[in-house]
Amino acid sequence: MRLDKYLADLRSGSRQEVKQKIRKGAVTVDGQLVRDPAFSVRTDSIVTLDGRTLQYREHFYYMLNKPAGVLTATEDPKQETVLDLFPLQLRRDLSPVGRLDKDTVGLLLITDDGALNHRLLSPRSHVDKVYLVRTDLPMTADDAVAFHEGMTLSDETKLLPAELSITEENPHEALVTLREGKYHQIKRMLLARGKEVVYLKRLSMGSLTLDPSLKEGEWRELTEDEIASLRID
């Protein structure tokens, strides 16, 4: 592929920005200084930019600890979105995998890998998602049974069986495991049981678990092991 496309694909800048860097002599290919943006490179070429060796990647994968008050969307004219939390040069073609409500926090996978995005969200995949939930009223064993048996909501929405594991020390707090992602699902399930959700945080999605070192609003790239595990799930 063209050298300028190679660098732009690696989020090293816009096409025009990387062309300028190439012409200024900031790039080498296999040890050779290259000033031609149209120079042909292979994905296994050894490319350096400003002395830093780059490694070509077809896709990018990020773990975000979503904060409250931010929309799970790629763009919005009036409100901040999860992609606004990333530097501008990284945002191209990225999108969130699934969605979290505006007031829900926690794990959100951001990627440009459309095939993985589709597979993780496919109803046939039944990818487990684990949430920490807190409610205004204490939860009970009957609530856990209702979740386990599968619920039908007031609008006739039928839900797959889910798991509600109430914290022994605090009946206002529980872990919920879902195998689907209906609109406001946990909130609607607990509301049907007479409880209001006051806090909701996603902890994991399939094999991917929220990094406890990430503060709300922070993100990091997935490790190779995390990426491989998601592909296997």
Residues with Cβ < 8 Å from 40, sequence gap 6 or more? 1, 2, 3
Q: Which two tokens stand for residue 101?
A: 């409500």
Going by C-alpha positions, the residue among 11, 41, 47 that lies closest to residue 26 is 47
The Cα–Cα gap between 131 and 100 comes to 11
According to DSSP, the β-strands at 61-66 and 219-221 are antiparallel
Q: Which two tokens stand for residue 188?
A: 């609607």
The Cα–Cα gap between 68 and 200 comes to 10
Cα separations (Å) of 149 from 6, 139, 161, 164, 187? Answer: 52, 16, 5, 11, 17
According to DSSP, the β-strands at 163-166 and 95-96 are unpaired
The Cα–Cα gap between 142 and 57 comes to 49
Three-state DSSP state, 117: helix
The Cα–Cα gap between 157 and 174 comes to 23
Q: What angle do CA 103, 106, 111 make, to 5 degrees?
A: 110
Whether 143 is a known active-site residue: answer: no
Of the residues 84, 101, 103, 233, which is catalytic?
101
Please list the active-site residues.
101
